[in-house]
Chains A and B, each alone.
Chain A
Amino acid sequence: MEEGQVYLASLLRREVRDAKDREVGHVEDLAFDLAAKPPVATDIAVHLQWTDRIGGLLLPRPVEDIVLLMPWSEVEAIEPEAVYLRHEHPEFEVASSEGKLLLRRDVLNKQMVDAEGNRLQRVDAVILKPEGVLLFLEGLQVGMEWFPPGRRMERIVGKLRRRYNRAGEENIIPYEAILRVDEGELVIRT
């Protein structure tokens, strides 16, 4: 992994704090717009310890362990120790998850296939690049230091990196090669 890049896994479960610096929950997932070049984070799914209102509406009673999707504008800063939100708990803006691509749910560990539907390998890690408060998708990693990718996969990744003029790490599929995300699998241009 190159300098300035982070693993999605390192952000998941990171503490989330509100405008008053109170711990309110942890990061559950991140929604990305795959059509943007490069794909950018649009929403953050936060696992709240509790809440008594959703989108300004007061609930009949407080609920515990709830996951809410919040627009990225709600994110004030991403720090190594926590992600900071703009508003005070529980006055957060919320967003619908309908039609959204969630990296943990839909991408990480999921099956990659080529355009003909042949299985390639699973997504072993998702590589992101923070720039200020924004978060961009760099690519999909195949293999780990202790788990090398197969030779066929190495060839495919090498070809893709040359096609999209990427230097450096050899085991990261550039985001441009992601054709679409179907239910349960990612279609990769090989």
Chain B
Amino acid sequence: MPARERRRRRRLTRRELLVFLAVLGPGIIVNMVDTDAGGITTYSVSGARYGYNLLWVLTITAVLLALIQELVVRLGTVTGRGLAALIRERFSLRVTALVMLALVFTNFANTVSNFAGLAASLQLFHLPPLLAIPPLAFAVWWLVVKGTYKRVEKVFLVVSLVYIAYFISAFMAGPDWSEVGRSLVVPKVSMETSYLVLAVTNIGTTIAPWMLFYQQSSIVDKGLDADKLAYERMDTLVGVFFAVVVGMLIIICCAAAFYYKPGVGAFSITSAEEAAAGLAPIAGKYASYLFGFGLFSASLFAASILPLTTAYTVCEAFGWEATIDRPYREAPQFYLTYTLFIVGSALLVMIPRINLVFIMVASQTLNGILLPVIVTFMLILANDRELMGEYANKPRFNTLMLVSLAFLYLINLAMIVSTFLPSG
């Protein structure tokens, strides 16, 4: 190859890299937020109770997540419309209203669970939640209400870096890496109810309906079109990779610290904050602090994204102004939804001795019903040649998606049933 041609190709690669960096955001953010308080709890309990035996489940989850998010990326970049808008235009006001109602409820419950995670992590650092939650809630509210999308996205991308805490915690716990490697690809299936429930919950907490709406809306808000499809696919793959790796590291950390250490009551770990506190005598107080810091940041991150995605989705569905680049008077429904979610969740968590179990279980059940329904809608939309043109689904991708969808229906049915079973 002549030197000039080589130089030209190098320039092209650099240009492509710059475009990729500009596009970077929606895919990474949505996948990192996915590792929220509920996710961290599930991964912690999985590692503490079953060691590395559930790692293979996350390998399958990564494939499912990548497939579903590819649909989101294609729908967003090709149509230039949010998922809620597309559902509304295709499936009528009544169907949209039902979907929105379910989504608002599940998102609110998830936001409450993240504020609860925030409160628990604050206690690890001996900070009283009653004093710390109001200013933190105000900070996330302020960031969106007073910010622009570019600024908010930059802050969120920087916050994503806190997940490095889990890399360090996992290494400090001293896992057997060769055993980890084997468990990633060789499934160790147990027929114990508790094991099966955790396997299903791992998939269910990693793929949530809200993330599909959020990612597509932020792709549209960022103005990414079909020309940027390849870059946004890359952004999503990077996000899926890191989200699954973080999930795996939490499992590895808790497995090494609790499951493989004789005398440590692995089954006594029932939450992320217990896992963080339990790490101190085993892996040192810094590993415990890092784990707790990860929980704090993830909860805070999710507590701001979930209200944002709800506001986006509801406004898109009903046609109200929905962008963080507009002032309050131009998008009142958007800011009201966002504010009510943050204030309501923060207040609910601050009520002493409140039992949030019912709202969490109900939200998990609704999530389980909603996800396959939304993916079915997406599949119908992605097959609409009038809407998607040359980017409509190809037969091979459809086969792959139909198999995944059948698996999702099965998994979510199992998850709904499991929420009513004692998990042991």
Shortest CB distance A103–B (Å) = 13
Contact with A along B78-94 (1 / 0, CB 8 A): 00010001001100110
User: What is the interface residue range for chain B against chain A?
Assistant: 10 to 19
Binds A, one of B20-28, B253-261, B314-322: B314-322
Question: Is A122's beta carbon under 8 Å from chain B?
Answer: yes
Contacting pair B320 A150 (CB below 8 A): yes
CA distance A110 to B332 in the complex (A): 20
B-side contacts of A144, CB under 8 Å: 93
Question: Known interface pairs A119-B322, A184-B81. Does A109 touch B88 (Cβ–Cβ under 8 Å)?
Answer: yes
Shortest CB distance A131–B (Å) = 27
B-side contacts of A96, CB under 8 Å: none
Contacting pair B92 A119 (CB below 8 A): no
Question: Is B333's beta carbon under 8 Å from chain A?
Answer: yes
Question: Is B97's beta carbon under 8 Å from chain A?
Answer: yes
Additional 13 contacts, C-beta under 8 A, given A119-B320, A122-B88:
A109-B92, A111-B319, A119-B319, A119-B322, A120-B319, A121-B318, A121-B320, A122-B93, A122-B317, A122-B319, A124-B93, A147-B93, A152-B332
From the candidates A118, A122, A152, name the one contacting B318 in the complex (CB within 8 A): A122
Contacting pair B93 A118 (CB below 8 A): no
Shortest CB distance A7–B (Å) = 12
Question: Is A44's beta carbon under 8 Å from chain B?
Answer: no
Question: Is B16's beta carbon under 8 Å from chain A?
Answer: no
Closest B residue by C-beta to A125: B93
Question: Is B176's beta carbon under 8 Å from chain A?
Answer: no
B-side contacts of A9, CB under 8 Å: 92
Contacting pair A109 B318 (CB below 8 A): no
What are the 4 tightest A-B residue pairs by CB atom distance, in nearest-first order? A122-B319, A121-B319, A119-B321, A109-B89
B-side contacts of A109, CB under 8 Å: 88-89, 92-93
Shortest CB distance B174–A (Å) = 55
Shortest CB distance A132–B (Å) = 29
Question: Is A112's beta carbon under 8 Å from chain B?
Answer: yes
Closest B residue by C-beta to A123: B319
User: What is the interface residue range for chain A against chain B?
Assistant: 10 to 19
B-side contacts of A122, CB under 8 Å: 88, 93, 317-319
Closest A residue by C-beta to B81: A184
Contacting pair A110 B89 (CB below 8 A): yes
Shortest CB distance B73–A (Å) = 20
A-side contacts of B321, CB under 8 Å: 118-119
CA distance A109 to B317 in the complex (A): 9
A-B contact pairs, 11 of them (CB 8 A): A109-B89, A111-B85, A112-B319, A118-B321, A118-B330, A119-B315, A119-B321, A119-B322, A122-B88, A122-B93, A124-B93
Most chain B CB atoms below 10 A, which of A110, A120, A122, A124? A122
Shortest CB distance A11–B (Å) = 15
CA distance A64 to B318 in the complex (A): 35
Contact with B along A106-141 (1 / 0, CB 8 A): 000111100000111110100000000000000000
A-side contacts of B322, CB under 8 Å: 119
CA distance A147 to B315 in the complex (A): 14
From the candidates B97, B320, B332, name the one contacting A147 in the complex (CB within 8 A): B97
A-side contacts of B330, CB under 8 Å: 118
Shortest CB distance B216–A (Å) = 15
CA distance A118 to B322 in the complex (A): 10
CA distance A112 to B85 in the complex (A): 12
Shortest CB distance A153–B (Å) = 9
Most chain B CB atoms below 10 A, which of A110, A119, A122, A184? A119
Shortest CB distance B331–A (Å) = 8
Contacting pair A150 B333 (CB below 8 A): yes
A-side contacts of B320, CB under 8 Å: 119, 121, 150
Contact with A along B328-353 (1 / 0, CB 8 A): 00101100000000000000000000
Shortest CB distance A29–B (Å) = 12
CA distance A147 to B97 in the complex (A): 9
